[in-house]
């Protein structure tokens, strides 16, 4: 695996520092010396951190693939095949010729390891800020391992306990690491998130386009809900809620909140600008088609999704029924300049995580659950049930890449859909198709790698 990680890592590091001036780094980098030896200042760590966030925002990661792949495999959406994109994912006929996010996620991890393993005490600059950056890198390493685990791990296959390799060094002696177990990867993720929270100082969190102290706890609540670690989910969500830093966007501002960056509900988002964005390979272009015909518009919402909303629900405002298909036009709406930031963690998700965890631990789940419909022009629930919470998650988080994981973690059967939206096959839970194949390039390079069943 590391053969493939390191092959592109010097380029990745170059990307990480490209937005900074030449004074940010020592000249040793230009002389092709060790990357680690080129880190002499705290500012160098921040340069790498910026590059990590840039990788996360590429079309091969959160800029499109992670979110869209998980939408079209759910009952929220399918690929209509307009440009041929995501039809194999929508129909569950993908194979190991694609690497999905494997290489990008491990690039992220490799770069975080440069920061995490740096001797911050020896660096020029604000050492406390350097420790904060190390905490940020540790949280992102957890995010990347979690992304890899939920896509490639065998937790929903009904056969096996393999996760993904845990990588904690930029360059280590083990060039061909084997896959760790699901429990080992989960433990590493939790350990990183706990460490990150303890290392970060909220005084340095002056923007939400870089991962922050409370984003680490919000992410921990997400991981804990995914794995059903309910007491941990309660504690992590309460840290975020009790911080008082965030609030649910009210009904009148819900649709418009997607046209502006930041906001009281944004815990962590990836930045985009007119000079730095995914362009036609981003989320807006794959969801939409403009009046002039620009845009791919391959991803179509199902009529079933449209039918779960009441007429008064403001969330209907992001969905268009004009033309032949039902489309998301309100989340990631900028299909011209592509300047919309990509929210990765919204406060609304944390509230829903909290509600579900309270339901499972005997707390007041109904009060938390009803905070969402109360701010969306929808009817309040009279009872907090698993079904109602999963339904509300579907309503609130549609088109953001959550539904696939939510369906799997509660054991739902899945539907493969053709380009007309018709169900081709019902895939019973569990199934080997619920774990993405390890890329063929990785299998050929790493003799210790074990392929998921069925590929």
Give the residue-averaged pLDDT of 257-281: 94
pLDDT attached to residue 291: 83
Beta bridge partners of 327: 320
More confident residue, 11 or 185: 185
Residue 50 has pLDDT above 60, yes or no: yes
Give the residue-averaged pLDDT of 153-166: 97
Residue 251 has pLDDT above 50, yes or no: yes
Give the residue-averaged pLDDT of 56-62: 97
pLDDT attached to residue 348: 99
Q: In order of start, what are the domains of the chain with their CATH numbers?
A: 2-85+100-256+343-439 (1.25.40.390)
- Give the residue from 101, 66, 95, 196 showing the smallest Cα distance to 141: 196
Over the stretch 23-49, which tens digit does the pLDDT of each residue have? 333 333 233 345 667 899 999 999 999
pLDDT attached to residue 335: 92
Share of the chain above pLDDT 90, in %: 87
pLDDT attached to residue 35: 66
Residue 17 has pLDDT above 60, yes or no: no
CA angle 318, 320, 326 (to 5 degrees): 115
Other CB atoms closer than 10 Å to residue 229's CB: what's the count?
19
Q: What is the 3-state secondary structure (H, E, C) of the chain?
A: CHHHHHHCHHHHHHHHHCCCCHHHCCCCCCCCCCCHHHCCEHHHHHHHHHHHHHHHCCCCCCCCHHHHHHHHCCCCEEECCCCCCCHHHHCCCCCCCCCCCHHHHHHHHHHHHHHHCCCHHHCECCHHHHHHHHHHHHHHHHHHHHHHHHHHCCCCCCCCCECCCCCCCCCCCCCCCCCCEHHHHHHHHHHHHHHHHHHCCHHHCCCCCCCCHHHHHHHHHHHHHHHCCHHHHHHHHHHHHHCCCCCCCCHHHHHHHCCCCCCCCEEEEECCECCECCHHHCHHHHHCCCCCCCCCCCEEECHHHHCCCCCCCHHHHHEECCCCCEEECCCCCCCCCCCCCEEEEEHHHHHHHHHHHHHHHCCCHHHHHCCCHHHCCCCCCCCCCHHHHHHHHHHHHCCCCCHHHHHHHCCCCEEEECCCCCEEEEECCCCHHHCCCCCHHHHHHCCCCCCCCCC
Over the stretch 89-104, which tens digit does the pLDDT of each residue have? 999 999 999 889 999 9
Is this structure's pTM higher than 0.75? yes
Residue 11 has pLDDT above 90, yes or no: no
Over the stretch 301-343, which tens digit does the pLDDT of each residue have? 999 999 999 999 999 999 999 988 999 999 999 999 999 999 9
Share of the chain above pLDDT 70, in %: 92
pLDDT band at 214 (very low <50, low <70, confident <90, very high): very high
Residue 149: phi and psi, rounded to 5, are -65, -45
If you search the block for the tokens 């054991």, which residue do you land on? 411
Q: Is residue 233 within 8 Å of residue 224, measured between CB atoms?
A: yes
pLDDT band at 20 (very low <50, low <70, confident <90, very high): very low
pLDDT attached to residue 36: 64
pLDDT band at 275 (very low <50, low <70, confident <90, very high): confident
Across all residues in the chain, what is the average pLDDT? Answer: 92
pLDDT band at 375 (very low <50, low <70, confident <90, very high): very high
Spatial distance between the Cα atoms of 373 and 378, rounded to a whole number of angstroms: 5
Which positions ≥6 away from 240 have C-beta within 8 Å?
A: 214, 217, 218, 221, 246, 267, 347, 350
pLDDT band at 299 (very low <50, low <70, confident <90, very high): very high
pLDDT attached to residue 174: 80
CA angle 299, 95, 145 (to 5 degrees): 80
Report the length, in residues, of the chain: 455
If you search the block for the tokens 């080129």, which residue do you land on? 38
Listed range (10-14, 39-43, 201-205) with the worst mean pLDDT: 10-14
For the chain, report the end-to-end CA distance as a whole number of angstroms: 18
């Amino acid at each position: 695996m590391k053969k493939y990680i390191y092959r592109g890592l010097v380029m990745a590091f170059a990307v990480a520092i490209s937005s900074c001036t030449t004074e940010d780094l020592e000249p040793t980098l230009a002389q092709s010396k060790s990357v680690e030896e080129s880190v002499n200042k705290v500012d160098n760590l921040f340069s790498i951190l910026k590059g990590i966030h840039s990788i996360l925002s590429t079309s091969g990661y959160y800029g499109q693939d992670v979110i869209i792949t998980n939408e079209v495999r759910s009952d929220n959406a399918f690929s209509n095949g307009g440009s041929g994109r995501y039809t194999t994912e929508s129909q569950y006929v993908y194979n190991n010729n694609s690497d999905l996010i494997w290489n990008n996620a491990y690039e992220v991890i490799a770069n975080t390891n440069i920061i995490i393993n740096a001797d911050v005490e020896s660096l020029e600059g604000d050492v406390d800020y350097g420790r904060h950056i190390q905490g940020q890198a540790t949280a992102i390493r957890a995010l990347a391992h979690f992304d890899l685990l939920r896509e490639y791990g065998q937790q929903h296959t009904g056969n096996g306990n393999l996760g993904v390799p845990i990588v904690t060094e930029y360059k280590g002696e083990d060039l061909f690491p084997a896959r760790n177990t699901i429990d080992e990867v989960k433990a590493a993720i939790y350990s990183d998130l706990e460490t990150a929270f303890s290392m970060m100082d909220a005084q340095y969190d002056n923007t939400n386009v870089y991962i922050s102290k409370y984003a680490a706890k919000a992410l921990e609540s997400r991981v804990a809900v995914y794995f059903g670690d309910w007491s941990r989910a309660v504690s992590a969500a309460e840290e975020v809620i009790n911080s008082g830093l965030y609030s649910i966007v009210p009904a009148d501002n819900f649709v418009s909140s997607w046209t502006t960056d930041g906001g009281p509900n944004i815990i962590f988002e990836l930045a985009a600008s007119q000079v730095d964005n995914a362009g036609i390979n981003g989320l807006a272009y794959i969801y939409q088609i403009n009046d002039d015909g620009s845009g791919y518009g391959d991803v179509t919402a199902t009529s079933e999704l449209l039918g779960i909303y009441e007429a008064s629900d403001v969330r209907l405002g992001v969905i268009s029924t004009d033309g032949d298909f039902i489309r998301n036009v309100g989340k990631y709406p900028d299909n011209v300049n592509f300047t919309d930031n990509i929210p990765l963690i919204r406060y609304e998700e944390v509230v829903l995580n909290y509600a579900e965890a309270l339901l499972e631990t005997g707390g007041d789940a109904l009060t938390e659950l009803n905070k969402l419909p109360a701010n969306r022009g929808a009817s309040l629930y009279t009872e907090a049930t698993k079904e109602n919470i999963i339904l509300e998650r579907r309503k609130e988080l549609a088109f953001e890449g959550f539904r696939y994981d939510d369906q799997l973690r509660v054991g739902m059967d899945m539907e493969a859909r053709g380009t007309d939206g018709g169900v081709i096959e019902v895939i019973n839970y569990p199934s080997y198709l619920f774990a993405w194949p390890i890329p063929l390039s990785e299998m050929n390079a790493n003799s210790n790698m074990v392929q998921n069943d069925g590929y």
